[in-house]
């Protein structure tokens, strides 16, 4: 833990040099006629430090994951270790894909709705602290959600779940996807919630396919039997 704290401290310090560029990326997602403000004496400084900290954690994340894996490795079997080591690069790739989806696909319509709704009643004056907090949380959790297929694949390799069992739970997966969409998105409109829920459903289906691939070839014929409830 001490080594991880030192790593985050170093990467957070390095992040201070490119925080202005991160703010530019964040601001580019908002409508052009919206101006960000700060109303507290320390609000801008707090937002600056918050963004630097999140960037530092993101930069140190591979090292943190490595430390966690090394900590639990003695309790894993040789086969489980091989699975974990194989999936680590994929975990980073899926997380980055989720971040890209949130930034390029989800944020523009979500922010457009939030910052234009009710403008005939009041003019939006968005504080920089609130704005960065909403964006960072949304981007982070979408990145986490994109790890669903890899988690399912790992559980399939360990024989914890099977493709048939996952297919039989498709109704619950759809319900869970829309519940997650409602929790993750800061809006109450169904359009933005659906933008999050549909990728989760697709990720669940991709996870089922990965679980099916993870099974020995002689057991893959069991997939069609998932139509019947036990």
Domain ranges of the chain: 2-227
Local confidence band at 230 (pLDDT 50, 70, 90 cut-offs): very low
* Cα dihedral sign, 72-78-81-85: positive
Q: What is the pLDDT of residues 8-41, one digit of tens each?
A: 999 999 999 999 999 998 888 887 778 889 988 9
pLDDT at position 66 over 70: yes
**What counts of helices (H) and strands (E) characterise the chain?**
10, 2
Per-residue pLDDT at 60 exceeds 50 = yes
Confidence of residue 89 (pLDDT cuts 50, 70, 90): confident
- Rounded to two decimals, the pTM is 0.79
- Asked if 187 and 112 touch (Cβ cutoff 8 Å), the reply is no
Phi then psi for residue 127, to 5 deg, are: -80, 145
Split at pLDDT 50, 70, 90, the class of 205 is: very high
Beta bridge pairs of residue 126: 36
Give CA–CA dist 151/206, Å, rounded.
11
């Amino acid at each position: 833990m001490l080594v991880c704290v030192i790593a985050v401290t170093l990467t957070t310090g390095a992040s201070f040099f490119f925080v202005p560029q991160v703010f530019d990326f964040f601001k580019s997602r908002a409508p052009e006629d919206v101006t960000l403000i700060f109303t507290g004496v320390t609000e801008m400084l707090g937002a600056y430090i918050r963004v630097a900290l999140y960037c530092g954690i993101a930069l140190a994340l591979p090292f943190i994951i490595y430390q966690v894996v090394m900590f639990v490795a003695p309790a894993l079997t040789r086969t489980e270790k091989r699975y974990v080591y194989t999936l680590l690069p994929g975990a980073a790739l899926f997380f980055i894909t989720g971040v890209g989806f949130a930034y390029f696909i989800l944020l523009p319509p979500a922010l457009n709705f939030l910052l234009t709704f009710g403008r005939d009643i009041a003019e939006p004056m968005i504080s920089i602290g609130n704005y960065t907090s909403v964006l960072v949380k949304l981007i982070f959790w979408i990145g986490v959600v994109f790890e669903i297929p890899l988690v399912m694949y790992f559980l399939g390799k360990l024989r914890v779940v099977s493709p048939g069992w996952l297919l039989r739970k498709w109704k619950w997966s759809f319900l869970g996807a829309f519940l997650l969409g409602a929790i993750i998105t800061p809006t109450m409109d169904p359009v933005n919630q659906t933008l999050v829920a549909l990728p989760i459903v697709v990720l669940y289906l991709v996870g089922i396919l990965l679980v099916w691939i993870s099974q020995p070839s002689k057991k893959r014929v069991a997939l069609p039997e998932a139509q019947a409830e036990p």
